[in-house]
Amino acid sequence: MSAPLSAPPSPPPEDNTESAIVLDSLIEYLLSVPEREPVGSELEVLKSIYGPESIRIWESADEDRPSRTPENDTIRYQVVLGLPSPYDDVKVKVLVSLPTTYPASSAPQLQLLSRYIGAFGVDSTLFGSILRTFISSTSGIDFIPDSVCVFDGLQNVLDRCTRWYEDHLSMEKAGELVREGLRGNGIDNLKTVDSPDEAKVGVVDIRQSQPVALPQGIQIFEAEPIVDRKSSFIGRACAISDPSQVPVILAHLSADRRISRAAHPIINAWRCKIGNVLHQDNDDDGETAAGGRLAHLLQILDLSNVLVIVTRYFGGIHLGPDRFKHINQAARNALELGGFLDEDGEGGGKKARTGHGGKKK
C-alpha cells in the first residue's frame, strides 16, 4: 500500500497535443516492459473509455532527473471525470498514483484535486473518503493483488462525488423552497442577532412573526415531557408533504406562549422527499449541535416526509452531554407516538398509534 501523498504535485502541462504525446509514449513504454504491461494495458483502456483529452501524465517538480523511468518511480496521472446526466457539465479531477509494486502487491491511491464540485466547495470529509478508496472496504473498493482496479476506483469516486453533489443541490433547493414558503405566508422579516442563544445570523426569526394557522391536514403529535434536574424536554412530530410547510408549522408553534418562553423553543430537523429528490434541513435554535443530532436520528431511522421538534426548558442546572440524550429521546418519543416507527424502532411510516401517554395537537 502506497503512503498518503504529502502534498499535491505541480500541475501538468496545458498543451493538449504535448500531453497526448507524453501519454502515448508512456503507454508504449509500459507495454514493452513485461512486468509493467498490465499498467500499460489498463492506461490504454482508460484512454479509450474517458478519451485521451481527459488523461494527463502528472509531472512533479522533482521528477525531471534523467534517471527517472516508469520502472523505478511512481506513475501519476490526472483523470477528468464528468458527472452523469443531468449533471454532465460538472467535472471532477482525480489524481491517480501507481506505486512500482502495482498491481502485484500494492493498491493505487486516488486523490481528489477539485476544490469545487459545481458551485460547492469540497469538504475534508469527501477528500478523506476518496483518499481511502482502496483502504476502507466500507465505502471503497477491496484491492485484490495482481488485479488492475483503477477503473473501479474511479467509478466509485464518481458515484460518491455525484451523491455529494446531489445532497448539496437538495440542501440548496430546500432552502429556496422554505424561503418561498415564508414569503407566501407573509413571514419574510429577517433579523440579525448578536446573542449566541438566539437564531443564527441572517436566519429568519420566526418567533417574531404573527400567529399562523397550521397547514391543512397537519397533525402534531406531542410526547410527554422528559424532566431532569428541573429542565424539561418536549418532543413533537408531524408528517409533511412539502418543505414549504416547515416554516408555517414552526411559526405556528412559536406563536404559542407556552412554547416561546422556553430557552430553546424549536430545535428541529426535517426530511421531505419530492419525486426522487430528498430535501432536508435542521436548526439548533441556540442549542449548539442539537439540530444536527436530530437530523442524524431521522437519517439512521430512514424517515422521510417528517418534521420533528424538541422544546427545551432550562431549569437552571447545566446538564452537560445529558441534554443531547434527552433531546434525542424526546424526539424519538414523539416519532413513536405519531406512528412513524415500527415495533423495532426503525423507520416504517405505519399508521399513527396513540397508546404511549402522549397527545395529539
Give 232-252 pLDDT, tens digit per residue: 999 999 999 888 788 888 888
State the pTM of this model.
Answer: 0.49
128 versus 157: which is more confidently predicted?
A: 157
pLDDT confidence band for 179 (50 / 70 / 90): low
pLDDT confidence band for 353 (50 / 70 / 90): very low
Instruction: Respond yes or no on whether the N-terminal peptide bond of residue 52 is cis (omega within 30° of 0).
Output: no
- The alpha carbon of residue 315 and the mean position of all alpha carbons in its chain are separated, in whole angstroms, by 35
Q: According to the model, what pLDDT value does residue 85 have?
A: 87
What does the pLDDT look like over 325-347, one tens digit per residue? 999 999 999 999 999 986 444 44
Beta-sheet strands, E only, within the chain: 55-57, 75-82, 91-98, 109-112, 116-117, 120-121, 221-222, 226-228, 231-239, 264-274, 277-283, 306-313, 359-360
Q: How far is CA 9 from CA 5, 306, 311, in A?
A: 9, 47, 51
Which stretches within 185-263 are classed as H helix? Answer: 245-254, 257-260
HSE of 286, CA atoms in CB hemisphere, 13 A: 18
Question: CA 338, CA 253: separation in Å to the nearest integer?
Answer: 17
Q: How far is CA 322 from CA 58, 309, 311, 318, 328, in A?
A: 52, 18, 15, 9, 10
Report residue 314 as a C-alpha cell: 432550562
20 versus 41: which is more confidently predicted?
A: 41
In this model, does residue 257 exceed pLDDT 50?
yes
Write the DSSP symbol of residue 52: G
Element (H, E) at 234: strand 231-239
pLDDT confidence band for 193 (50 / 70 / 90): very low
In this model, does residue 306 exceed pLDDT 60?
yes
Nearest to 52 by CA among 79, 90, 31: 79
In this model, does residue 55 exceed pLDDT 80?
yes
Q: What is the rounded average pLDDT of the residues 54-63? A: 69
Instruction: Of 169-183, 191-205, 253-267, give the range with the top mean pLDDT.
Output: 253-267
157 versus 119: which is more confidently predicted?
A: 157
Instruction: Of 116-125, 171-180, 219-228, give the range with the top mean pLDDT.
Output: 219-228
pLDDT confidence band for 310 (50 / 70 / 90): very high
